[in-house]
A and B are shown apart, each in its own frame.
Chain A
Amino acid sequence: MRGSRLILGAIFLLGASDPWVDASTQDLHGYVRALSLDLRGNVPTAAELEEVEEAAEVTESLLESWLYSEEFEEQVIAQHREMFWNELEVNLLPKRKLSKRDGIYFNNNRSRYTRDVAHSHCGDFEADVDEMNRPLSWLTNDDGSISEGYVIVSPYWDPDNPIEVCALDAQLNLVSDTGVDCTTYAGYEEPTCGCGPDLKWCLDGGTETLIEQALSKDLTERVRAMLQSDGSYADLLSSSTMYLNGASAHFFRYLTPYDDEVYERPVPLEDLPELDFADETWTPVTLGSEHDGVLTAPGWLLRHQTNRGRANRFYGAFLCNEFIVPETGVGALSGTEAPTPNLIRRPGCLGCHARLEPWAAYWGRWTEAAMIYRPQESYPAFSEDCYDCATTGVGCTDFCEDYYLVETSHTDQRPYLGWYMTYAFLLDGKEENPDLGPLGWVETAQSDGSLDECATRNTARWLLNWEEDESVIEEWVSELGDSFSYRDLVRRLVTSPEYWAGVP
């Protein structure tokens, strides 16, 4: 291997002023085909192949045109999907979801409130309603349910194709008869709350998928933006710009209030773009300073729903590392006594969790199975009030019970009474990790070079289909310098002797 590099190096020294140009003549056709497939996902056109043959080289201008093509962006995005795993399949808002029976849309989950019997339907007849779609008459069925009939609605997701919707689910009231706001979670059990104008406060299976795709694609649009700006690759992990299309804008504008324990608007309502649901153009919005690039994007937080999961994915994707079970095994979760919840102290677990726990804590202020940020100002690391109620036997507030450690199930938890839950078991300076956020870890990885090294290694694996040895990786990283752009990295690799020298 080393000998081959010397030979190739010799070719460089002997050959020419521009090594990769001369070297590409080694197997010009194989090189240009591989280059085109890797950079653009397609073979060269006949015209491009003729151009290369005539020039007897892949010219710099041709290479640059490929590196700046939309197709290249898609290839880089494809590579990053393999890192992000950004494909959401979560049940976004089951309580707002419309299903279909006999061709008529209705909210099956709310039937017990709207029609008095669970899973009951409105019946296949046109409803008699007022201007707010409130039924003026209905049938009473043997099981005690009512059937009010359907109305025709132009849904926000396809306004040109009206659909039949059970009238009670198509109600337009902003406020219920009992004074409850129909645009919030509180309206769920209110029979006089519905899906609102154009059904905008509800979703069906198709719209749910489109919203999930939009949240997923936000991550890859950030990759595209990183490429288009030719900025530093590390911007991916620090930028505070999010990309919304019509589906995600609608979700944040109208639907997130229905589960404010799981979802929140990433920007204030007035800053959300006004887009039709079907509008697929991407609009950037600027997020708050608590955000750390893709690592706190809704698409990341909802895909990797626990802090350990978020840390584990970052560790694997961006630092090229994995946790494995030691040869001695984990050991069974056994015994008659409760095991310690502090995984750093549990035999068999500490090997991995000694590092994973503090790393997971970087996401400590981001809620799990959700995308909500809980700031220090409102959720201090330690609460005297919560500590007091935990230690004096006085009843704790819901706030303390929900977010702070006020009750122990194991003695190991006692030193952390009164602490915000994700601070539990953190020691030795790691208590600052939740407030640093994932950027704290990113900056450490940047300063020790592991981020750059992994990016280079990942890209080498993509383009060369192998792992290069440490010294070559270090050489490339050193050549590229700080704050290299991803395009620079790719360019360096595809013009390397290892790439153009062709397959054995």
Chain B
Amino acid sequence: MKGRWAWKPSQWEMMLAILTVAAGAWSAQLSPYYLNLDQIADSTRQFIFPGLLALGLMVVVVLGEIDISLASTLAVGTVLFSKFSECHVQVWIALPIVIGICGLLGALNGLLVAGLRLPSLAVTLGTMGAYRGLAFIIGSERGYTDFDDSYLWVGSERVLGDILPISFILFAIASLAVGFVMHYTVFGRRCFAVGRNNDAAWFSGIKVRTIKIRAYTLAGALAAFAALVWVGQYGSARGDNADGAILFVVTAVVLGGVDINGGKGTVLGVVLALFLLGTIRNGMGLANIAGPIQTVVLGGLLTVGVLLPALSASTSHFLHLLLPRRSTPK
């Protein structure tokens, strides 16, 4: 290892990067409108809020757990923002409070999973429904659209010559922060350790329970940021916000090379996967390809993406058998 800060992109990440470029090329060929800086920058907005959720989910998945309630936490965030906006509270005062509440929701997930040791899929399946119901209860069925301008700023404004969305900057900061935490801090290292081998980590003195609760809280807090972006982007807050978005988030995390069983994965991989998915969706959308066909393409991509390691492993194994062995000892 060259040094503590030495970093080399893994094979999977390289493949994602190349696929993204190839997807960009393909999209450009599909539609003449694709290759436009303004357009591409604007299209990133489609995956900012799932991206923030994906960052949170990545931490949880690395721990070997899962959290499918993040989209519902986002909905709670948006309706909370709507309540604050109704009372004309400044967004910079509302934001920490919403982060706190969403973090609490995440902590509740963590408590149930780590404290009571319930299986995370079942727990977050339950809290997914419960939190969404909570969002409806807080927000009422009608929804809210009359946001103060300060709330809309993050999700809708652009800087640098009206090209770069502010939400993209937020996402970049968030990814760098999460990446730093996961790969260069003790907390991150411990997350990977717990994900790799829960028992061994426990034996080595890592407080598994605390780490899991913290991870879930972080995911909840990131969902609050995603809620802020949502409010600015869509200008509406209702209980059914982001209903079903969790599928895309899980796809992004998985495609990003994060092992669903925990212990492996990089933030860069998730970010690249988001870019890849976003590029493909954007390109297909501009070419007016029907939604279901887009779904098929994405589903196929996911299949190929996860089959590749198995395929390459078996092909190399195959080749290893076919090709003549080395006669010299290692």
Determine if chain A interacts with chain B: no
Give me the interface of A with B, judged by CB distance under 8 Å. Answer: none
Give me the interface of B with A, judged by CB distance under 8 Å. Answer: none
